[in-house]
Amino acid sequence: MENEKESKVYVHYTHTHPSKFSRWTVRESFQFMCKRPWQRVLDFYSNVVTGHCSLSELLGIKDLSPQTHPIHDGEIGEASDKTEFGNVLTKDRGGRWARLTFKIVLSYHGASFDGWQKQPGLNTVQGLVEASLGTFVDEKKAQQLKEKCLPVEGNAFVAGRTDKGVTALQQVCSFYTWKKDVKVQDIEDAINGAVPGKLRVIFVSEVSRIFHPNFSAKWRRYFYIFPLNDWEDGDQNSESEIDVQKISFDEKYGEHGSKHDAEFNGGEDSDNLIFDNDGEFGSRKKPSTFSIIRVDQLLQQLEGKLLSYKIFARDTKASRNIGPPTECLVFHARATEARLLSSNDGEGTKVMCIELVANRFLRKMVRVLVATSIREAAAGAEDDALLKLMDATCRRATAPPAPPDGLCLVDVGYTDFDRQNCFIR
C-alpha cells in the first residue's frame, strides 16, 4: 500500500508551464480564497435579489437601457418572449397539445438554500417552487399522485442547476399543466409567498409547448465577485505588483485552512495536497496578491474557442468516451475591478468581478476557472496558461473550486448572444 502511494504521480506537482513564481499548492489556494470578507458579497447579492441594487450599479454602468439589458431594472420586457418558442401558442389544439406551458424567471439568494436540485430533507429552490406549483396541477395528475401517496406538486424544469450557495438573478424554469384556468399572476403570487426576501419571481409568461429552459437555451451568463482584503495593496491592477509583494502564507493566512476547506476542495482529501521534495508542506515564499489585468488577459484567451473543459470540471469523470460532451464555446470572458459600497463603510470593499458567457458550463467549471486564473495570474504565468491546462491529464493541474458565495447565475439567453449587452467590455 505504501509503495502504491509513493508511486502516485500528480500532474499538478510536476507541470512546468512557465511562470515567474511558484504556484500555490491546494492548501494555499484554500487559504487565499477563504480568508476574505465573503459576507459583504452575500449581503450585496441579497440586495440584488430583493431589487434594492443591481450589477449595473456595482460596475457603474449608466448608459444601458432596460431594453438593452433586462438586469438593469430587474424587469424582463415582453419582447424577450417573442422568440421561436413564444410565437406558437397551443390554446386551440387538443390532446397532449392542449396543455399550457409557463416560463418562470426566478431570482434567489444562494446562501439561503441548499442548491436548486430537490433533495430529501434539504431546503432547495426546486423543492419550494414545485410545492408552490401544486395548486396548479390538473385533476388527473393530482389523483395519480394521491394514489401513490405522493405530495401534489408540480414539475419544474430548469435551465441549469445551481450548487449550494450560488445565487441566481434570472434563473429560467418551466411548468406545464392541463388545467385551463391558470393565470400567470396566480403562479407569481404562489411562489413569491413561499420565502419572501429570498426567492422572488421576476416574470411569468405562457410559451409554446416546445419551449424547454435547458435545451432551448443558446447561452448562459455567470458573474463572480471576488472580494479583496483591506490589508491587500490598493492597486491590484498594477502589472508590477506581482513582482514586488511576496510573503509566506503561514505569516498572513495562518498555519491551517478555514473550516470551509473541505467544501471548497470539492471532495478532495488531504492526500491531494502538494508537498515538496522532502515530503513536507511547502513553506517557500509565494505571491500573496495577483493582477486583475493579468486575470483578464488569461480569460480573454478563451473567447471564441470550442474547447474541452473536462479538466476544469468536478464531480464528473475526468476522461470519458461516452456521455455528454465536454466541449464548451465561451463567447465572453472578462475581469475588472469594482467596489461594493456599504452604508457601514464609506469606502466600501474593493472586489474583482468576472463575467463568463458560454453556450454551456460543466459542473463547477466556473468556480474552477476563477480559482485557476487567479492562481496563474499570481504566479505570473503566460497569457496562454489556461489553454495549456486543457491538455492536462489530471484535474489536480487546476486549482480547487473557488467559494460558491461569489458566484451568480445572471441570466439565460434564447436568442443569439450580443456582446454589446455585456457588463464588462
**Distance in angstroms (rounded) separating the CA atoms of residues 77 and 70:** 7
Cell numbers standing for residue 35: 480568508
Determine whether 163 is an active site residue.
yes
CB 171 within 8 A of CB 228: no
The C-alpha cell that represents 25 in the structure block: 499548492
Distances (CA, A) of 298 to 242, 334, 382: 15, 9, 8
Other Cβ atoms within 10 Å of 75 Cβ, number: 12
Amino acid found at 345? D
Query: Of 81, 92, 163, 271, which one is the catalytic site residue?
Result: 163
Rg of the Cα atoms in the chain: 23
Q: Count CB-CB contacts under 10 A for residue 262.
A: 14
Which residue stretches of 152-267 are H helix? 184-192, 241-244, 249-253, 261-264
Give the DSSP letter string of 44-96: HHHHHHTTS--HHHHHT--S--TTT-GGGTT---GGGG-STTTS---TT--GG
Give catalytic residue positions: 163
